[in-house]
Structure 1
């Protein structure tokens, strides 16, 4: 009887335990070993008890993916865990890139190809942020990462212009860092060429977590100094509306039902 080799690639959602999918919890429950950045295991809490934790720091993403495949290939049921949706700017891509490299003969780990992989989606930061303020993603939208660590800035800039011209609602991931503080303001200036200065912008920091903060500002008020790596920045399109009813405030992006109302 062959030994089952199982790797769960798990998105745990934005941080609130109530938003972790049941399938994600089941994957963690079935696993003996958990591979993640330590904060994610802390946020998951009790489900991670009595498991072997493999905590690798930020910047060790390739190491995490390799370790998870190695553990699963050795017969240990393993969960590789990331926040949000693990297929969106997260670890799932690295797992499949390593498998692709093995198939191309660029790696020497044939045992990886025997691993059963189950990708478990999670709620992404852009979905969590939109839900906190109404229905910002109600029409066509896209995401753009402002980190040029892995993607040339020229490519990122082209995508910002294309998204602006296409009038997409845009969620910016990795908006700023200690060494990278000008790209967000550049993106703002680009978008101001395509949509009104009054366009609503969501600044959602530590979404769904205990220290969550939510701000709705105008596009012309967006400034990188008010944002950090824990902040999601979502910019409405030219039709997005910020509506206020007393102390209540929402943002929604209409789909065109006005003609039918």
Structure 2
């Protein structure tokens, strides 16, 4: 009888530990995904082209990155067509030509790559990862009057935000072309699947030709990279550590209980 009770108790403990393990894994997945995304983004070597590639990758159906697809991405040398920086909200993302899931993992993409800066509405889209320092999720904090700096095809530009709004993903007319130079930044309104998009629109201020101003933009870039790496520790690493510490304590408790 005692042996049967022991075997029964052992099975119950195994089931409980299995449930605890599954719960710990599920709670950890979003943090692991952000952690690895930040790691790859901050360690990828990027070169900036002075002209668009001769062949631009065809547009793909975009989906939110999963842990499996994120873990499939590797640190590697990549060629971007530019970079967009918005210091007031902590935005600093490389820009790629070609609406693909891979490009969106590494940075922002140009929705209409053949539009030029000076006489068109340049539309950039990026993922909202939920992490405050990764990609375009920071656009939720954008406000009218804030400055946006664009490094694009070898030149530097400055813009001022004149409108922020939430639109439906089907309202493509909101990013229609213009005869004046504008910049439109678009992202999902939440890190989960949603039909809503945050739209930040900025007017062209002028070309940044001063080498000192360009150097300031580079310093801003390095500062934001460092801030991103530091934020990963607080935002992703410690929650993962706490989840598995609690898991370990609960497992020990289950094992020692009779």
Higher helix share: 2
Answer whether TM exceeds 0.5 for this pair: no
Q: TM-score, normalised by structure 1?
A: 0.23
Q: TM-score, normalised by structure 2?
A: 0.23
